Structure 1
Amino acid sequence: MLVFSVMINPKIQQRLRWSEEAKRVAFWVLNSPQRIACVLGKRKPPASTFHLTKERQEAILFRLRKDLQKVIGRLLRVREARSILYDEEMYRTFEEKGGQYVALVSLERDKGIVIPLAGNLKIRRMIYLVLKEKKAVISYVAPLKVPKRLEGEADGIEARLSEVFTDDHGKK
């Protein structure tokens, strides 16, 4: 928070319309992280001993909030999450009544989330749950089977064209 006050102090000192008392109020607010948090949260800082009208103090705090927002950038907002990553310990798959389901842990104790799956798949490792309107999409990493490299004598590939192709060993 001290960094913010260092960046804003020159702006406060350059304000010609502000009285020395108004500048002292601004410096007083910037001297405490709690008071800066109050200003950014649009709450009143703790009572001060400065002799300014309530309207004048609110105008100073408004200007300070705008200056802080320019320095900090947009304030972080809490957004509703639409996706979450689950590791192997946080879910299990099971079959019941001819369908496959995935049971996910939730934030509420002893209340899991059960989602029916459209296919019958072997889900392993981490899964990624994405909520889209009234649908849940689960992405997972499927094991990839890499074919073995061909061995033996090289055979040519004929395509009845005059172009040169690559053989099964990668040679032209």
Structure 2
Amino acid sequence: MSTTPSVGIRSFTRDQLIRMAQLFAGDPDLTRLIDTTATERTRHELASTPHLEVWVMTWPPGVSTGWHDHGDVAGAYVVLSGAFRESAWSGGAVHSRELSAGDERSFAAGHLHDLANVGDGFGLTIHAYSPALTQMTPYEWVDGKPVPIAL
């Protein structure tokens, strides 16, 4: 008896993750998910397999993810609305970029960052991860460097 391999993509590139996020970002009904009474970031799963997860996230003003990485998972996100700042630790320093509606970003596994809604209103983003996101490591700052928080 022979075994037939499973059909489908098992590993997404960073470009493919951007395209997946863009695909879901084209849904005009996503804005209905913004809860203007929320005080914390909320997320809604749009798709999930062992090899891919896609979420929509709503962000009240001033909310941040805090410093974290995604372990062995690569990711991408597209900003649908709002003003964001992503700060990332790379090469021994923090690098920041401003993002607004239409901007997109992808990152490799192990990317250490903080994403924050720096605008006055609610923000909306689409995130795609491959493989499925099963771990996130939070970090704290010690002597000017990020250090994983032992949980």
| Common fold: TM-score over 0.5 | no
Task: Compare the two structures and name the one with the higher strand fraction.
Answer: 2
**Higher RCO, 1 vs 2 (CA within 8 Å, ≥6 residues apart):** 2
Which of the two has greater helix per residue? 1
